[in-house]
Amino acid sequence: MTTTRKVLLFNPRSANSKYRVPNSILQVGASIYGRYEFVFVDGNLERDPWQKIASYLQTGEFGYFGTTVMPGPQLRQAIPFAKKAKEQFPGIINIWGGYFASNQYQVVMDSGYVDFVIYGPGDNAFPSLLDALETGQPYEFIPNLIWKTPEGVAIKNSKEGLINLDTLPPLPYDFLDGFYPMKRYLNPTFLGRSTLAYHSSMGCPFTCSFCAVVPIFEARWKGKSAEGMYRDIMYVKEKWGADSIEFHDNNFFVSEKRLRTFAELMLNENMNWWGEARIDTMDQFSDDTLALIRKAGCRMIFFGAETGNDALLKQMDKGGKQTGAQIAAFAARLRKFDIIPEYSFVLGMPAETPEKVWEQIESDITFIKQIKAINPATEIIIYVYSPVPTEGSELYQRIQEAGFSFPERLEDWLSPQWESFDQRRNPLTPWLTPAMVRRIQDFETVLNARYPTVSDTKLSQFQRNVVSALAGVRYRFNFFHYPYELKALQKLWLRYRQPEWEGM
Ligand code: B12
Ligand code: SF4
């Protein structure tokens, strides 16, 4: 060990049930395993995480409080705990990482209580920062680091090239198991009884103008080898009984070659799996590959369909290849292979006039109904558009012109409005009127009742038939207003699924 100061790695609460392996702090932990003494605190599995954190910090042995932060509910613990840590233990150094910290670093650094942000991968940056701080060496040039000058100006260092993930140290599953039994992270989902959340690649090769991955990775992607993933998965399968996998990659299906090798390794493992992909990428894969992955356990794939409107797709900069016609044809193609396409749509994009915004919403509703007619098994996820600024994009310019801006104080992100914004439920965007948001949400209610999701394993066939029949007339005649009867049933029986928000 090179230090006397220990490290606390904290995963703020992100879910109310079905807790997943906290891959962010697990991978950051791997980077210092055997080099620094550290502990994990998982807000998902602690009744009172602050008490746990304080009990560690009170020992006086800890120098570093590392927190992973994505937007939304994680901020509820990340913000007050970082503040309290600084107030009650002034010597503690607060280090944040993750997508919120990376994309909103200015407001984070201006808070006065977060000392450093690691933007993008922390695998090299984090141990380098600790080394520098422990030995009094300069940290001003560590790639992926954001720090503050004595005058309080946040400086963003250069970005490091993507790391070869096969050269990273192994994920310390056993060490994590010593804090929180691994079994608690392997929960039932639509895929199986013990689903493992696994993350096998960094970044994404595309530049969709609404996506938070783009400013960090700038169209770069690197995947772990198929053999490397297989080894990790088998370790968890054999040791703790994982029987299915949820891939948490931004874009799992980038490389057909890697996918095929992985599928061949998985052929006899009897494990179902799910991941996220792009329609235009996968549509280029051969029939043979699609048949192979189904045989190897691929049950459902999440796709950002976004909209059936070609002009909007172009504005979103999906890479220029995805079209409405392709989205529809691909839903039909996957039907042949018995792989469930899970299409997410983003409704409520900006337009020049309110009439145009309405027109876009209505045309997407029609399009979604067409997709359901082509392949009724298609799962539909609807988001209300929440902007992520990608500097220089046409879309960003448009949302600024329309009067949208982010909060100026870190604590303001805790307000209920911004929390809903993060979860893409209530966008706070000036071009959307309450009536438009209601129309989208009412359609979503009727659609989810008409076609209850297969991933709701608790719903019986009888219940499915009842809700579906009840929603039938509304669905057919586009009468979505005030669906109180469906909402009541939904409360009782249905579980609306937001896979990116709550997972499977
Ligand atoms: C798993 C996951 C969840 C889980 C929670 C996981 C948990 N921690 O318990 C669930 C499903 C609950 C969830 C919810 C949401 N999520 Co989420 N989630 C992810 C997902 C798929 C994987 C995260 C992960 O484990 N990555 C693997 C690790 C290894 O990568 P990493 O986090 O980037 O970590 C590296 C670096 O960032 C850095 N780092 C990270 N943390 C730290 C901490 C320290 C101290 C240091 C030094 C470094 C460091 O080092 C790590 C190793 O290199 C990501 C997408 C992705 N592929 O990352 C989206 C993602 C983070 N989520 C996102 C969002 C928006 C949400 C939601 C807010 C909204 C939604 N999508 O509906 C909700 C929030 C609701 C909630 N309850 O919190 C966005 C963030 C976008 C943005 N604007 O910043 C992402 C990027 C998905 C996307 N492409 O849109 N999510
Ligand atoms: S393909 Fe998905 S992950 Fe990649 S940039 Fe587009 S939205 Fe983001």
What mean pLDDT comes out for the span 136-143? 96
Ligand 2 atom with the shortest distance to the CA of 211: 8
C-alpha 305 to ligand 2 mean position (Å): 11
Question: Which amino acids bring their CB within 6 angstroms of ligand 1?
Answer: 11, 14-15, 20, 22-24, 27-28, 44, 66-68, 70-74, 95, 97-100, 103, 118, 121-123, 126, 199, 211-213, 248-250, 388, 422-424, 498, 500-503
Closest to 263 measured CA to CA, from 283, 285, 238, 284: 285
Which residue minimizes the CA distance to atom 6 of ligand 2? 208
User: Does the pLDDT of residue 313 top 70, yes or no?
Assistant: yes
In the chain, the percentage of residues whose pLDDT exceeds 70 is 92
Structure-model confidence comparison of residues 61 and 458, the more confident one: 61
Ligand 2 atom with the shortest distance to the CA of 212: 8
* Mean of pLDDT over the chain: 91
Q: What is the pLDDT of residues 57-95, one digit of tens each?
A: 999 999 999 999 998 889 999 999 999 999 999 999 999
C-alpha 250 to ligand 1 mean position (Å): 10
Which of 37-51, 264-278, 378-392 has the lowest average pLDDT?
Answer: 378-392
pLDDT at position 390:
54
Structure-model confidence comparison of residues 427 and 488, the more confident one: 488
Question: Which amino acids bring their CB within 6 angstroms of ligand 2?
Answer: 204, 206-208, 211, 213-214, 250-251, 278, 304
Sorting pLDDT into bands at 50, 70 and 90, what band is 420? low
User: Does the pLDDT of residue 379 top 50, yes or no?
Assistant: yes
Report the 10 Å Cβ neighbour count for 220.
Answer: 14
User: Does the pLDDT of residue 328 top 70, yes or no?
Assistant: yes
Structure-model confidence comparison of residues 400 and 465, the more confident one: 465
pLDDT at position 367:
97
What domains can be seen in the chain, in order of their start residue? 6-156 (3.40.50.2300), 186-502 (3.80.30.20)
Cα 78 from chain centroid?
17
Q: What is the pLDDT of residues 230-244, one digit of tens each?
A: 999 999 999 999 999
Q: Which of 278, 301, 307 to mutate to test the pocket of ligand 2 (most atoms within 8 A of CB)?
A: 278
Task: Please name which ligand lies nearest the alpha carbon of 217.
Answer: 2
Task: Please name which ligand lies nearest the alpha carbon of 211.
Answer: 2
Alpha helices in 104-189 (DSSP H): 105-110, 125-135, 173-179
pLDDT at position 426:
58
pLDDT at position 451:
92
C-alpha 97 to ligand 2 mean position (Å): 20
pLDDT at position 320:
58
Q: What are phi and psi of 345, to 5 degrees?
A: -120, 145
- The pairing of strands 145-148 and 192-198 is unpaired
Sorting pLDDT into bands at 50, 70 and 90, what band is 149? very high
C-alpha 163 to ligand 2 mean position (Å): 19
CA distance 63 to 92: 5
Q: What are the E-state strand segments in 318-419?
A: 340-347, 379-384
Which residue minimizes the CA distance to atom 49 of ligand 1? 97
Which residue minimizes the CA distance to atom 42 of ligand 1? 97
Residue located via tokens 């040039």: 141
pLDDT at position 503:
47
What mean pLDDT comes out for the span 355-359? 94
C-alpha 23 to ligand 1 mean position (Å): 9
CB 423, CB 72: distance < 8 Å: yes
C-alpha 104 to ligand 2 mean position (Å): 19
User: Does the pLDDT of residue 455 top 90, yes or no?
Assistant: no
pLDDT at position 215:
87
CA distance 118 to 113: 15
C-alpha 206 to ligand 2 mean position (Å): 6
CB-count exposure of residue 96 (10 Å: 0-12, 13-18, 19+):
buried
C-alpha 208 to ligand 2 mean position (Å): 6
Residue 483 in 3-state DSSP?
Answer: coil
Which residue minimizes the CA distance to atom 45 of ligand 1? 66
